Amino acid sequence: MMRRDDQGFTLVETLVSFVILSSTILMALKALNDGLLALRRVGEASRRAEIIAAELDKHLLAGDLAHGPISGETGGVAWSISARPLADEAPGRNPLRPWLVTASGADGATIASTIVLLRAEQ
């Protein structure tokens, strides 16, 4: 027989505390899972951006951007690079012209954009 001055918790109090603890653990695990998924997405986006930036550098060095848009696939990443002149100068006046060069992914989102000087005859 229990006396009123006995110390301890009742079965209902213990069950309620387990429910609260379980709910807290589940919320923490959900937050951890969401964080890991976001980290994976950021890693994949970073990998795509690195591949596209490397392709941009390669084509800038090759000097073949003034011939029209270039597209391809590297490492499973589809990319597209386009260039357009920024100034309508007569080619004879200055051998170098500023061009806006844009690199984008398969979804059309711009990954990198830069201004470069290209020779007019390219």
| pLDDT tens-place string over residues 19-59 | 999 999 999 999 999 999 999 999 988 988 888 888 888 88
Can you give the pLDDT at residue 122? 45
Is-above-0.75 flag for pTM? no
pLDDT digits (tens, 9 = 90+) for 67-115: 778 888 888 888 888 888 876 665 566 667 788 888 888 788 888 888 8
Cross-strand pairs, 73: 78
Can you give the pLDDT at residue 41? 93
Number of domains the chain contains = 1
User: Tokens representing 65?
Assistant: 């951007």
Burial zone of 112 (CB within 10 Å; 0-12 exposed, 13-18 middle, 19+ buried): middle
The span from the CA of 2 to the CA of 6, in Å, is 7
Q: Let me know if residue 99 belongs to a domain.
A: yes
User: Tokens representing 47?
Assistant: 């990998």
Can you give the pLDDT at residue 25? 98
Q: Let me know if residue 69 belongs to a domain.
A: yes
Domain residues for the domain of 37 are 11-119
Q: Let me know if residue 3 belongs to a domain.
A: no
Q: Let me know if residue 27 belongs to a domain.
A: yes
